[in-house]
Amino acid sequence: MKICVLGLGYIGFPTALLLADAGHEVIGVDVNEAVVDRLNRGSISDEEPLMLNLYRRASGRFHAQTEVPYADAFIICVPTPLQKDMHVASLEYVKSAATMVASKLREGNLVVLESTVPPGTTAKLVVPILKSSGLGPDQFYAAYCSERAIPGNVIYEMTHNDRIIGGKEWQSASKAKELYASFVRGTLHLTDLNTAEFIKLIENTYRDINIALANEFAKIAEDNGINIWEARELANKHPRVNIAKPGPGVGGHCIAIDPWFLTDNSMSCQLIKSARDVNDYMPNHVVRMIKSATKDIENPIVTILGVAYKGNVSDARETPAHRIIKLAENEGIHVRCHDPLVKHFEKELETLNEATSNSDCVVLVTDHDVFRTINPLQLAMRNKNLIDTRNCLDHDMWVGAGFTVKVLGNSEMLRPVPEIEATQVKGKPLVEQRITS
Ligand SMILES: NC(=O)c1ccc[n+]([C@@H]2O[C@H](COP(=O)([O-])OP(=O)(O)OC[C@H]3O[C@@H](n4cnc5c(N)ncnc54)[C@H](O)[C@@H]3O)[C@@H](O)[C@H]2O)c1
């Protein structure tokens, strides 16, 4: 089959390669010439496991270009950003991609939208644009099939996750199923267009609300002298409870955005909006922790560890670090940032030594695995404070290195034992004092 994939970003490019690997002839189309040149040169990031091997196997059947060719099937994976001032989906890229496809649409072709969109978009926006090709509604197939892959394990999950396929009618869903079955090993579930679009949004909204609940629990735990991390672990022993982890806020281009797409056409969304607010305001809570840790320090310097929106990825889109930095700087706090994975960020990223030299407080925002290997004894801090917003570091080790440690969601503060006392308490670990802040 000849397949055209429009939009060669995080989702479109691996999808195109998996289809090529399954034996199809794949033309990748992107309006950004730099992307097309880079992919045709074979300049592929090794950030995603399995990606380089997949490219080596599939590149013979993959080619990128800026023009849409004639093909048997078209898959649209273009961005659907949030129009932030109005909290509504911006569908300009989808419209323009559908228009490009319409100009090459022939009888019997299949068009699949993969971009995340408000319910009704494929039926009300994409199909009418495709009809402008001159074909009648029964002369082409249209489907919606979103992606559920997690950044950092995209190739494996694209292959193994179950997927939901919505069809313009049953034949469209079946045609799309045939196409995806060529590389997906998970089960392909068929439904109608609107339901498939809706499912993508409720999955991420469910996760956003679960995180918001965990964040609310974390703040209530702090007010009650309780450690949310211990409480959550024990609550999750209940067979029907699965509370998410609290943290400094929600980022990325899915969980922080998709709930707004769900509310586009509805007035029944109080809980969803509240959850968005809870998560959006977690950076304020983190800044309050920073102010408390540095309150007696003149011109405090703070080091942000991790600006990616989640651990072990290089993606800083919608990261809560943005808001933490902005709010802290507005308080007169000097902020330095270190993230060994992120390549592009609005603020300069420094090496660990540069970012921590003379710093008064380290704030762990992203739980990259590599941060667990930091030796706190080697940091040339002016004052030794650590705020761990993800509860992911070895706190005993940091306290042993002289740091005062505060963990989000835990009212206790871990303080190092003063040296003189430590020498008196023979045989006991340094971390023995748990002082309520
Ligand atoms: N990244 C994820 O993890 C993820 C997961 C599930 C769903 N999605 C959804 O998938 C869609 C794509 O996301 P992404 O992260 O791959 O985006 P991306 O920004 O990484 O890539 C999109 C690409 O589309 C290109 N493009 C824009 N208009 C085009 C057009 N008319 N024709 C051809 N190319 C065009 C852009 O130049 C860009 O290279 C979005 O709707 C997103 O919400 C993303």
- Catalytic: which of 4, 77, 145, 254? 254
Count of other CB atoms within 10 angstroms of residue 46: 8
Choose which residue among 13, 30, 99, 344 to substitute to test ligand 1 binding: the one with the highest number of ligand atoms within 8 A of its C-beta: 30
Q: Is the pLDDT of residue 437 over 50?
A: no
Torsion angles phi and psi, residue 241, rounded to 5 = -120, 135
Percent of the chain with pLDDT over 70: 96
User: DSSP class of residue 124?
Assistant: I
CA angle (316, 321, 327) in 5-degree steps: 140
Lowest mean pLDDT among 18-27, 55-64, 146-155, 326-335: 146-155
Check if 254 is active-site.
yes
* Residue 265: predicted pLDDT: 80
Judge if the beta carbon of residue 158 lies within 6 A of ligand 1. Answer: no
Ligand 1 atom with least separation from CA of 151: 3
**Pocket of ligand 1 contains residue 313 by CB under 6 Å:** no
Model confidence pLDDT, tens digit, residues 155-194: 999 999 999 999 999 999 999 999 999 999 999 999 999 9
Identified catalytic residue from 175, 200, 384, 406:
200
Looking from the CA of residue 100, the nearest atom of ligand 1 is 31
Check whether 138 has a pLDDT greater than 80: yes
CA–CA gap between residue 103 and residue 220 (Å, rounded): 56
End-to-end CA distance of the chain: 65
Evaluate if residue 125 carries a pLDDT over 50. yes
- Residue 426 has a pLDDT of 46
Atom 27 of ligand 1, residue of closest alpha carbon: 78
- The answer, yes or no, to whether residue 211 has pLDDT greater than 60, is yes
What is the structure's pLDDT at 434?
46
Q: Is 10 in the pocket of ligand 1 (CB under 6 A)?
A: yes
CA atoms within 13 A on the CB side of 358: 8
> What pLDDT score does 432 carry?
45
Residue 418 confidence (pLDDT)? 73
What's at 116, amino acid-wise? T
- How far does residue 400's CA lie from ligand 1's centre (Å)? 46
259 CB near ligand 1 (under 6 Å): no
For the residues 16-32, what does the mean pLDDT come to? Answer: 98
**Is 8's C-beta closer than 6 angstroms to any atom of ligand 1?**
yes
- The residue-averaged pLDDT of 242-265 equals 94
What pTM was computed for the model? Answer: 0.92
Exposed e or buried b for every residue in 280-292, given b needs 16+ CB within 10 A? Answer: bebbebbbebbbe
Secondary structure of residue 73 in the 3-state scheme: strand
Mean pLDDT of 42-58: 91
pLDDT tens digits for range 372-429 = 999 999 999 999 999 999 999 999 999 999 999 999 999 999 999 776 554 554 444 4
Ligand 1 centroid to Cα of residue 360, in Å, is 40
Domains of the chain: 2-200 (3.40.50.720), 282-436 (3.40.50.720)
User: What's the confidence (pLDDT) of residue 264?
Assistant: 82
The pLDDT of residue 420 is: 54
The amino acid that residue 203 corresponds to is E
The pLDDT of residue 85 is 84
| Contact between 112 and 134 (Cβ < 8 Å) | no
* Mean pLDDT in residue range 321-337: 98
Q: What average pLDDT does range 7-25 have in this prediction?
A: 97
Mean pLDDT in residue range 279-297: 97
Signed CA dihedral, 251, 254, 260, 266: sign only:
negative
Q: Is the pLDDT of residue 93 over 80?
A: yes
Cα 386 to ligand 1 centroid, rounded to whole Å:
37
Binned at pLDDT 50, 70 and 90, residue 233 comes out as: very high
